[in-house]
Amino acid sequence: MAITAIGFEGSANKIGIGIIRDGEVLSNPRHTYITPPGEGFRPNLTAKHHQSVILDLLEKALKEANIKSLADIDVFCFTKGPGMGAPLIVVATVVRTLAQLYNKPIIGVNHCIGHIEMGRLITGAKNPVVLYVSGGNTQIIAYSEHRYRIFGETIDIAVGNCLDRFARLLKLSNDPSPGYNIEQLAKKGQNYIQLPYTVKGMDVSFSGILSHIKTIIVGNKQARKNQNEIKQHSYTNEDLCFSLQETLFAMLVEITERALAHVGSNQVLIVGGVGCNVRLQEMMGAMCKERQATVCAIDERYCIDNGAMIAQAGYEMYNADKTRKGMTLDETNCSQRYRTDAVYVSWRDD
Amino acid sequence: MDFACELNIPLLTTRHAEIVYNTVRIDREPKKNVQRIEKLNNNILNVRFEAEEAKFIRVAVESYLEKINSILRTIQRFDPNL
């Protein structure tokens, strides 16, 4: 019996709805709330954006999947957490309503696990060490005995958050995403600026690097304003982008390598929005080559937050549940904090 | 609690009222400074907000009504029985 799952994702500024049938992605449209340069996205406005877009996006998802009615869907999945409160609730509200209208089971999915399960589906990687890097999360994850265990993580902000806030300082465009524009500028960087390198064992820290580079940028601006003779050479935006990427990504490669050694794995799976970055994939590839390991990377359709990844994780959870009841409505509450290892991975036997 | 606001929201049918009630009661108020108590009477949803300051109630009621609005629009567009 084929199972068709629909997934709704809206924990940050992307709202995506995806439909999957037995591992095949039937549709996966997405809409991003893009703010003007220099501005980040706030919960209330992001929630308003999602609210205005979600029903049209749902129709688009059904149309692209060639599905006439929601009655043909077997299970409704949505992001329970982690993420921003208001946007999460907007999406959950619509999904709870739909599940009741059609009397279908509902499953709340952990956002991080959505990324992991989509990565596993697309790449076919059996048991990789997962580097999950996005605007909201930075974790090194390895599967062991029914849990996705967090081996290492950021102790303050996510690597994507560091990049996004840096982009704001330079007033880079947020279209299609700040990270993408940083990557393009970095390709033209000529000079490496020394930045703090903060790996703490298996963990990483990014807020110090952000403060440091902020000081450099503000110093640059002041000097240009006063038209002072700058003692050190002035740094271009390209140099700053290049230096920041090299430093941040080297840190991520280091903790990934440490995890590979600990776990004895030879596969790395990179998921999350920052995983789109080709430079990161290159650097990871170079490290893996030295260890006879491989990098499994996915393209921006599935790296960036999307609905299909929620559908896929929800499908696995639902398929493993022989009662086919899904969650009770009380269990579908949203939580801004939801640890990856809090979920019992019932759908894996290994 | 010094300030209170009570809303009575009539829905078209008992079924709709149940759907709205079961959807909107799940998430707790994000801030602890507002208390929210919900009751369902057939097809009327009764909500009572209590807080120390009027502005807290205003914010809570505003976002609550937006949620109701969202649920109603979803029902309007996707209810298979309509």
Domain ranges for chain B = 3-78
Q: Are residues A130 and A39 in the same domain?
A: no
Residues of A in contact with B24 (CB under 8 A): 93
Average pLDDT over residues A100-104: 97
End-to-end CA distance of chain B: 42
Q: Are residues A70 and A132 in the same domain?
A: no
CA A274/CA A295 separation, integer angstroms: 15
pLDDT tens-digit readout, A287-304: 999 999 999 999 999 999
Average pLDDT over residues A265-286: 97
Q: Which residue of B has its CA nearest to A101?
A: B79
- Quick check: is A338 in a domain? no
Q: What is the structure's pLDDT at A225?
A: 73
Q: Are residues A104 and A243 in the same domain?
A: no
Measured in angstroms, the CA of A85 and the nearest CA of chain B are apart by 8
Asked if residue A111 belongs to a known ligand binding site, the reply is yes
Cβ within 8 Å, pair B23-A100: yes
Q: Are residues A289 and A308 in the same domain?
A: no
pLDDT tens-digit readout, B38-65: 999 999 999 999 999 999 999 999 999 9
Q: What is the structure's pLDDT at A223?
A: 74
Q: Are residues A251 and A139 in the same domain?
A: yes
Between A1 and A145, where is the model more confident?
A145
- Quick check: is A35 in a domain? yes
Q: What is the structure's pLDDT at B82?
A: 80
Answer whether CATH 3.30.310.50 is correct for domain B3-78. Answer: yes
B79 touching chain A per CB within 8 A: yes
Cβ within 8 Å, pair A55-B73: yes
Kindly state the helix (H) or strand (E) to which residue A244 belongs, with its residue range.
helix A237-263
- Quick check: is A72 in a domain? yes
Q: What is the structure's pLDDT at B43?
A: 93
* Res A231 pLDDT > 90: no
Paired tokens of A339: 């640890």
Q: Shortest CB distance from B80 goes to which of A58, A71, A89?
A: A71
* Res A185 pLDDT > 90: yes
- Quick check: is A346 in a domain? no
Q: Shortest CB distance from B27 goes to which of A69, A89, A102?
A: A89
Residue A43, domain CATH: 3.30.420.40
Q: What is the structure's pLDDT at A126?
A: 87
B55 touching chain A per CB within 8 A: no
Q: What is the structure's pLDDT at A224?
A: 72
Residue type, A137: N
B31 touching chain A per CB within 8 A: no
Q: What is the structure's pLDDT at A243?
A: 98
Q: Are residues A181 and A238 in the same domain?
A: yes
- Quick check: is A350 in a domain? no
Cβ within 8 Å, pair A102-B80: yes
Cβ within 8 Å, pair B75-A101: yes
DSSP result, A60-94: HHHHHTT---GGG-SEEEEEEESS-HHHHHHHHHH
Q: Are residues A251 and A286 in the same domain?
A: yes
Residues of B in contact with A330 (CB under 8 A): 26
Q: Are residues A308 and A286 in the same domain?
A: no
Average pLDDT, chain A: 95
Q: Which domain holds residue A232?
A: 125-302
Average pLDDT over residues A314-332: 96
* Res A226 pLDDT > 80: no
Residues of chain A with pLDDT > 70, as a percent, come to 98
Contacts of A326 (CB under 8 A, 6+ apart): A75, A76, A104, A105, A106, A107, A318
Q: Are residues A63 and A157 in the same domain?
A: no
B26 touching chain A per CB within 8 A: yes
Average pLDDT, chain B: 95
pLDDT tens-digit readout, A68-98: 999 999 999 999 999 999 999 999 999 999 9
Average pLDDT over residues A181-206: 97
pLDDT tens-digit readout, B16-34: 999 999 999 999 998 899 9
Judge contact between A198 and A187, C-beta under 8 A: no
A101 touching chain B per CB within 8 A: yes
Average pLDDT over residues A6-32: 98
Cβ within 8 Å, pair B77-A90: no
Q: Are residues A54 and A186 in the same domain?
A: no
Number of domain units in chain A: 2
